[in-house]
Amino acid sequence: MKFWWYIEWPESVHNRTLIYIRCSKTGKLISINVLEYAAELVNYAASYHYYLHNPDPTDPYPVVQLNVDNTAAESWAKKPCTTSLAGRGLSRLQCAMMINNPVGINPSWVSTKVNVISDEISRMKKETNSVRDFVKIVQAYPELRGCKRFQPSAELISHIMDAILQKKCINPMQVNQCILSNPGQITS
């Protein structure tokens, strides 16, 4: 599908990660599992966008392999999260994205050692120009040549942030058409 994306988590999310909050009992900690699951949903939106604009007449119901190096995120994509309120909110968002969507998903775990490129992109610093950093990554990993940037829609990002920060569970039927009609866009 030849896309990449990058979202800088805002300070309101970053400041609630394990670097800053050591105790999960307060309910303020945002776990890496939740952030990895959110990334999986962005990948699903990008995959849906790809097939929306590049339909395959021989396969009207494609299934996308979503590789993640986080076992909780993989599990939550298969069976909704029940252990985290933020994860539960993201599970509801996944449901909204899947209703009447011809693109299915097949989540799969990969080791961190195999997930090198994604990890490299996720470690770009917010103080730098992400496009310039991506050019450096392309030089290091030639298989990325020709990839275009996917920019998730504002609505999708808003729903992800609501689930992560406010632990908000949406009504999937109300959000479905909004997300499917505009999952995001590809830019050069």
Distance CA 3, CA 181 (A): 19
Q: Please tell me the total number of residues recorded for the chain in this structure.
A: 188
Per-residue pLDDT of the chain (188 residues), as tens digits, is 999 888 889 999 999 998 888 877 777 899 999 999 999 999 999 999 999 999 999 999 999 999 988 999 999 999 999 989 999 999 999 999 999 999 999 999 988 787 888 877 777 765 555 667 778 888 888 888 888 989 999 999 999 999 999 999 999 999 999 999 999 999 87
Beta bridge partners of residue 187, listed in sequence order: 149
* The token pair that represents 78 in the structure block: 């298969």
Check residue 126 and give its pLDDT. 59
Residue 21 CB partners (closer than 8 Å, separation 6+): 28, 29
CA proximity to 164, closest of 5, 20, 23, 27: 27
The token pair that represents 10 in the structure block:
């805002």
Domain extent at residue 26: 3-187
pLDDT for position 156: 97
Q: Residue 64 and residue 106: Cα distance in Å, rounded?
A: 6
High-pLDDT (> 90) share of the chain, %? 65
Q: Which of 62, 109, 113, 70 is nearest to 90 (CA)?
A: 70
Antiparallel, parallel or unpaired: β 148-152 and 184-187: antiparallel
* Structural domain total, the chain: 1
pLDDT at site 128: 57
